[in-house]
Amino acid sequence: MDPKTPYENSSNFESFMFNSPSRRSAMSIQSTSSGRNNSAREVSFGHSGSKPVRYGSKGADSEALSMSQKEISDEDARLVYVDDPERTNERLEFAGNSIRTAKYSIFTFLPRNLFEQFHRVAYIYFLVIAILNQLPQLAVFGRGVSILPLAFVLLVTAVKDAYEDWRRHRSDKIENNRLALVLVNGQFQEKKWKDVRVGEVIKISANEAIPCDIVLLSTSDPTGVAYVQTLNLDGESNLKSRYAKQETQYKLPEKERLNGLIKCEKPNRNIYGFQGNMEVDGKKLSLGSSNIVLRGCELKNTNWALGVAVYCGRETKAMLNNSGAPSKRSLLETRMNSEIIMLSFFLVALCTVTSVCAAVWLKRHKDELNLLPYYRKLDVSEGEEENYEYYGWGLEILFTFLMSVIVYQVMIPISLYISMELVRVGQAYFMIGDSRMYDKATNSRFQCRALNINEDLGQIKYVFSDKTGTLTENKMEFQCASILGFDYSSAKSSLENEQVEYSVQVDGKVFKPKMMVKVNQELLQLSKSGFANEEGKQIYDFFLALAACNTIVPLVVDTSDPMVKQIDYQGESPDEQALAYAAAAYGFTLIERTSGHIVIDIHGEMQRFNVLGLHEFDSDRKRMSVILGVIDKSLNTDILQATETHLHSYSSVGLRTLVIGMRDLNASEFEQWHSAFEAASTALIGRGAMLRKVAINVENNLCILGATAIEDKLQQGVPESIESLRTAGIKVWVLTGDKQETAISIGYSSKLLTSNMTQIIINTNNIESCRRRLRDAHVMSREQMAVPGVTHNSEGSLDAVTTPLALIIDGSSLVFILDNNELEEKLFQLASRCSVVLCCRVAPLQKAGIVALVKNRTDDMTLAIGDGANDVSMIQMADVGVGISGQEGRQAVMASDFAMGQFRFLVPLLLIHGHWNYQRLGYMIIYNFYRNAILVLVLFWYVLFTAFTLTTAINEWSSMLYSIIYTALPTIVVGILDKDLSKRTLLKYPQLYGVGLKHEAYNKKLFWWTMADTLWQSIAVFFAPLIAYWGTTVDVASIGDLWTLSVVILVNLHLAMDVIRWNWITHAAIWGSIVATFICVMIIDAIPAFPGYWAIFHAAGTGLFWLCLLGIVIAALLPRLVVKYIYQYYFPSDIQISREAEKFGNPRDNGGGQIEMLPVSDGPPR
């Protein structure tokens, strides 16, 4: 089957449809008629949305057909016998309805949790160290002490995981023990949800949740319609219609046994699709997505519904989709791994030096070993000569190497991982509480759904944004109409336009639509003329289409006045709601909708239209059709040209356009369509493709009635936000399903496009044309890259300045580009030269393909932001995904890493919190490396002066507490609370965001400078006391305490030198840690069982001890202080200049009003 064939019969209309309407907006009205008393009109509209296929979107129809064949083939089908669960599951192959979202059980928690935690290689490293220390030959520290640090980290993580899993267990228990009415022996009895089985008939009452996936059999509505809310499933609060088959609607299971067989597809994750058929009374009925209600939905506005369970428990679509967003790791943590590898090599080098030196020492002193206490070769205490604590030269070297690894183990900071987690939690707390990111309209705060990538927010280079609902409000407002070639635009008669509250009388009560719409008075008068003239007939058909062809469910809502009711139109699309309210404002009020008919009040006259057939919307046809039984009328006006002109004028000012048309069918054409429709509806194989073909065959040769224009206003602050992001060096790409003219207009109004930009437009329909346009675009971009411009330097010479480029490309071109590696590379090279990229008419997977295009070819960080289900693939593909909790449900939020209410919140999120998070985490990682390395180097210097025996002067308990009590808290507090610049400065100068783009807070150069400083500080710490106490009788424990206190004071003062914003918590953490160290050392030395009893009290009683402490601090920190002063005074960065301006109120030199920032340069592609 060639999917292109049906389009060839309607090429005129298709050309018009695809070039003018915007996303989800092309509308047509098609009429069928066979005679005066047997007439039917077809009303249809098509949404030009995107079909979810491969990135290039090729071969969609053939893939869909083969998929449907595979899903419904006999070997892959599921057989469900209605009200016969034993026969249905006689082979025990179907799951029960008990669900489990918890990860662990009592028996599996310990092994599985430990297995998951040891995925971190550093944990395995520390486990090996702890095991080595248990061997008598290698025991450097106490056996218990060596295990404590790793055990503490594992315990904290395990407790957190256990608490989270306990909450999941509790939730599962509540869910599984809910009650449902199940048909047992002809009577409905209460059963726990976990005991429901496939094949059982279930009765659901109003406002109850659905316990499993059920196929509807009957409902309280005579027409078989049931309204469900899918809020728990996909986040959408609008009601959706589901239908029971008429053949089962009137069967009462309490009075007669239901006999039927359902043959359906096997369990899958597609919550929007279902294929199957049901045999009842010898008749085969087709089943589709409108006949199934999924677990997690709630029954609304329907008294009761009966259904048969087809998928239970873990096989329900909701549970199959319960996998969560993909796990992401931050760029900073990934880069940190390379430094950890370097430190590992450095650790090996220290161990090698120690073992080699020990080998040389043993060779030189081999004749003296019998006389040395730790190396006596011979033991004659028992009268016989035996080897004593000596294993030979080779093994001694090996043991020395392994003991060195144990002693120097803290070179790899185990506490860094848990510290980073705690800091991220603290950062998330302040992001959630930021009033700048609180949306009053929806009463929603910022959500931090992924705690492991906070710092990535400070390194974003590319922002990929949806337009509708993300840049715009997605609250549609009817603005213009083009009917019979006449433009009834609100802009032309704004003084006449006013919001009209239209009401209808039903059974003595007044019904008013919930939303008022601004109307054109001239058009309103014409709509009331009825069939008085030809013009009135066309306008009648036009508004009938708006009222009838949609999925709107009218809900009646009570008001304070019992005689006045409100009609609330619930629909799956804001466009549909806007059109339905517009039709009501012009006197065509939708009152009731069932599966068999709709009721519309037309200027006070209630009319019922039988729904003879329905073609649901799909992204291939970009239309929806409904067949209605109406009064016969003729149609002979051709207004295509005028309507097309109006469409272009509407879209050029950013309005969303919709096309209205209709067609007459004679009796034979109607019968031909009806038979084909019935055959396709009951098909077992390829039903979707067949229905699509039937719809396309009837949706052609349309006569255009007119068009509508809907305004989707920009959200507050969008232009300013985009300008700030671009000033910060972030490239903003907009990916939308709208047509080119609409997207460009929104681009200008949002300041994405500017008048000085050179636009490169690529919109082709074949691969050769696409290749040629890309080649021409490359030439143009090179010509525009450097154009002479006026310089700002003091000499007044001419410099080359870059002319900004804007690339505008449509989805049809991307079809060819994203399926061709050569064209992909050319597009990337072209896009990397452009300041702005605007993609129009793109499919959901094309959005993900564009993100992958950049992500796979550069090291730059990407962020995707969107609000709808069509943005999920893009959000999950990007390094950081942000969901907007808007009008299109919460699918994007549920798939995102962060969620918020408005696009403008992206500015404080990136420029403030992103900057702070990156600066803090970057400094914290470097500081942790320094903090641990200085202790290791002090131990190393001591080994060199003690015959390489790997004894330690620092008490083993102090070594363990060093990373837990002595120095852990200050770095966590600073990582959460410190701020290098204020919010006001960061927002005023977006260029400061370039710190993250240039990796200034964490890079290899900074790492090596820090290691050099660490080396000097370790020398100062070790050799100052050594020289001061040389020749004295001081014991090892006393000088060891001096080294301990020196290192702790030094690393805390080092941290204090870098703190920018002091508060009482920071003071308490830093100075409190020093005090806590003194207390701990005194407690340890006051315990007689520990070596070095009372050592600190003897040493601290002398003036030399305190003089050494002071000298160490001065000698160690003085070089750092001098270098820092020279660097900040003579080579200040943007951050330092801004900080100075913040402190003194103006820049450093002359108090000028503006700070000139260094430009944020683009890094080269990978």
Instruction: Cite the active site residues.
Output: 466
> Going along 1052-1156, which residue ranges are E strands?
none
| SS3 category, 731 | strand
Q: Are 851 and 460 in contact (CB under 8 A)?
A: no
- In this structure, what token pair is assigned to residue 294? 């999924």
Q: How many CB atoms lie within 10 A of CB 702?
A: 24
CA–CA separation, 252 vs 250, rounded Å?
Answer: 6
Residue 1046 · residue 1103 · CB < 8 Å:
no
Beta-bridged to residue 31, according to DSSP, are 41
- Spatial contact of 280 and 260, defined as CB atoms under 8 Å apart: yes
Cα end-to-end span (Å), the chain: 43
How many C-alpha atoms does 994 have within 13 Å on its Cβ side? 19
- State the CB neighbour count (10 A cutoff) for residue 1135: 20
Helix (H) or strand (E) holding 229: strand 225-229
How many H helices and E strands in the chain? 39, 42
276 beta partners: 264, 287
Which residue in 123, 170, 174 sits closest to 149, CA to CA?
Answer: 123
Closest CA to 1042 of 1055, 1027, 1053, 1054: 1027
Best CA proximity match to 909, nearest among 986, 997, 978, 974? 986
- H/E stretch holding 230 reads none
The SS3 assignment for 463 reads: strand
Q: Which residues on adjacent β-strands are paired with residue 731?
A: 462
C-alpha count within 13 angstroms, C-beta hemisphere, residue 201: 25
Burial of 1156 by CB count in 10 Å (0-12 exposed, 13-18 middle, 19+ buried)?
exposed
Q: In what order do the strands lie in the sheet with 276-280?
A: 77-81, 260-265, 276-280, 283-287
Q: From CA 830, how far away is CA 824, in angstroms rounded? A: 10
**Cα radius of gyration rounded to whole Å, the chain:** 37
Beta-sheet pairing, 509-513 with 564-570: parallel
Sheet holding 509-513, edge to edge: 504-506, 509-513, 564-570, 553-558
DSSP reduced 3-state for 603: coil
Spatial contact of 574 and 692, defined as CB atoms under 8 Å apart: no
Pair of tokens at residue 1053? 């003062």
Structure tokens, 1165 = 């592609």
* Cα 783–chain centre separation: 38
Is residue 298 within 8 A of residue 231, CB to CB? The reply is yes
Question: Which residues fall within 8 angstroms of residue 1156, CB to CB, at 6 or more apart?
Answer: none
Is there a contact between 227 and 302 (Cβ–Cβ < 8 Å)?
yes
The residue among 695, 544, 658 whose CA lies nearest residue 609 is 544
Q: How far is CA 81 from CA 84, 96, 467, in A?
A: 5, 16, 47
Cα 914 off chain centre by: 16
How many Cα atoms sit within 13 Å of 418 on the Cβ side?
20
Question: For residues 450 and 851, is the Cβ–Cβ distance under 8 A?
Answer: no
CA dist 1081 and 1097 (Å) reads: 10
Q: Give how far the C-alpha of residue 1155 lies from the chain's centroid of Cα atoms, to the nearest Å.
A: 36
